[in-house]
Amino acid sequence: MIDLPKHKGQRKKLVEKLFSKGIRNKRILNAIYSIPRHFFMESDFDNYAYEDKAFPISASQTISQPYTVAFQTEKLDVKEGEKVLEIGTGSGYQTAILIHLKCEVYSVERIFELSRKSKKILSKLNLNARKLVWSDGYLGLKDFAPFDKIIVTAASKEIPPELLNQLKINGKMIIPVGEINQTMILIEKKGLNDFKKTDLGLFKFVPMLKNKV
Ligand code: SAH
C-alpha cells in the first residue's frame, strides 16, 4: 500500500471535478488532494478510488462519494480545533478528511469489523482521531458531549433526539433524513429547544440502523 505519483495525479483531477461541482473551500479541496482514498477501499476497487463515486466496502456498506464527503464537510463549516462527532465511521475516509482539517474527531461505527479496520488504516496513515468507538450512533457519545459539529453519514428515518441534545448551542449538525431517497438537512442549534433546519437537496446513503453488531 504505497501512495504512487499516479494517485496524486488522479486526486488532482478529483479535486478539479469537485471544484466544477461547486465545492469552493480550499482547505477541504486540499484535504481531498492529500488523503489517499485508495487506502480506505478494498484492493479490487483500487483503480476506482479517485472517481467521484461511492463504492462497496466490507459488511455491505459503502465508502461515501467524494462529492458527498466534501459537500457535508463544507456545509458543516468545520473549523480547526472544533470537536466533531461523526456517526458512521465506515471506511474511515470522512474521518480522515476531518482529522486533516485539524478537528478533534470522535467517530462511532455500529459494525465491529468496520470499526476495527478503519482504526487500523487511520493509524497506518498517522491520522489520529480523539476516539473511534464501536457503538450505536443513535446514542451519540454522552461522555464526550457537547460537540461543536455533528456529521451523520448514514440515513436516518428521523433526526435522533440524543444527537440534538449533544450539540452545543450555536453548533451545527448535518444529516441525511428519509428512507429511499434522503434529504440532506443542516440543523443549527440556536437555543436548548430552538433548531433552524435547512433543506440541502436529495442524496443517497446506506441506512442508519439501531444496535451495534
Ligand atoms: N463515513 C463513511 C460512510 C460509510 S457508510 C465513509 O466515509 O466511508 C455509513 C456507515 O454508517 C456504515 O459503515 C454503517 O455501518 C454505519 N452506521 C449505520 N447505522 C449506524 C449507527 N446507528 N451507528 C453508527 N454507525 C452506523
What pLDDT is attached to residue 42?
84
Asked whether 111 lines ligand 1 (CB < 6 A), one says yes
Phi first, then psi: what are they for 169, rounded to 5°?
-65, 135
What pLDDT is attached to residue 92?
98
Distance CA 74, CA 71 (A): 5
Which residue's C-alpha comes closest to atom 20 of ligand 1? 208
Enumerate the domain spans of the chain.
Answer: 8-203
Dist. CA 157 → ligand 1 center (Å):
14
Asked whether 93 lines ligand 1 (CB < 6 A), one says yes
Distance CA 197, CA 75 (A): 13
In 127-193, DSSP assigns E strands to 131-134, 147-152, 167-177, 182-191
What pLDDT is attached to residue 41?
92
Dist. CA 27 → ligand 1 center (Å):
24
Give the C-alpha distances (Å, rounded to integers) separating 88 from 41, 106, 142, 201, 207: 16, 11, 16, 20, 10
What pLDDT is attached to residue 3?
76
Which residue's C-alpha comes closest to atom 18 of ligand 1? 208
Give the C-alpha distances (Å, rounded to integers) separating 140 from 18, 120, 135, 160: 30, 22, 9, 9
What pLDDT is attached to residue 46?
78
**pTM for this model (two decimals):** 0.97
Please tell me the CATH code under which domain 8-203 is placed: 3.40.50.150
Active site residue 58: no
**What's the pLDDT tens digit per position in 115-160?**
999 999 999 999 999 999 999 999 999 999 999 999 999 999 999 9
Which residue's C-alpha comes closest to atom 23 of ligand 1? 137
Give the C-alpha distances (Å, rounded to integers) separating 72 from 4, 5, 64, 144: 28, 28, 11, 22
Dist. CA 211 → ligand 1 center (Å):
12
With a cut of 70, which residues of the chain have pLDDT below it? Answer: 1-2
Q: What cell was used for 173?
A: 449538525
